[in-house]
Amino acid sequence: MLSITVRGVQQEQMRLKNIITPDRIKKTLIKHGFAMEARAKQICTAMKAVDTGRLRASISVNWDGNSGRGKVEAPAQQDDGVSVPPRKGTATIRIGSNVEYAEDVHYGTARMRARPFIDVAIKQGLPLLIEDLKKLGEINE
């Protein structure tokens, strides 16, 4: 007869409690998405891209499975450039605006200089997101 005894299972479970799960990745993405959204709004204001506040108010973050929380006229729709269609096995966030002139302000036109509020916010927030995603895989000793 063969007998196997495993000791320290509870300790090992505690050590491995930070295993990366899709839910934890998604929560981390959403947390940083909201931070990038807030930063984009700050940048939009600082770059004097705000007249009425409509553009700033429309900047939003959406993620897989979220019905959209666009703030201008109607919630984000699948084809408006802000919503994210759900895809199995992925975690995606999208930060953007559903205001029709947002791209003109962001990228500029022949008559108006570019004021890239979203790209800058994402570039500033990306290192913090990556740092937090790496922390998900760390094992507590």
- C-alpha of 87 from chain center: 16
pLDDT at residue 29 in the model: 87
Averaged pLDDT score across all residues of the chain: 74
**Where do the H-state alpha helices sit in 19-59?**
22-46, 54-58
Q: Are 84 and 94 in contact (CB under 8 A)?
A: yes
Taken as a whole, the chain contains a residue count of: 141
Domain ranges of the chain: 9-136
pLDDT at residue 65 in the model: 63
Tell me the pLDDT band of 9, cut-offs 50, 70 and 90.
low
pLDDT, tens digit, for every residue of 41-96? Answer: 999 888 887 778 888 888 888 876 665 554 333 444 445 454 445 556 667 778 88
Contacts of 17 (CB under 8 A, 6+ apart): 140
pLDDT at residue 87 in the model: 58
In whole angstroms, give the CA distance from residue 112 to residue 43. 17
CA nearest 82: which of 69, 73, 90? 69
Which tokens hold the place of 9?
């299972």
Give 18 or 90, the one with higher predicted confidence. 90
pLDDT at residue 36 in the model: 92
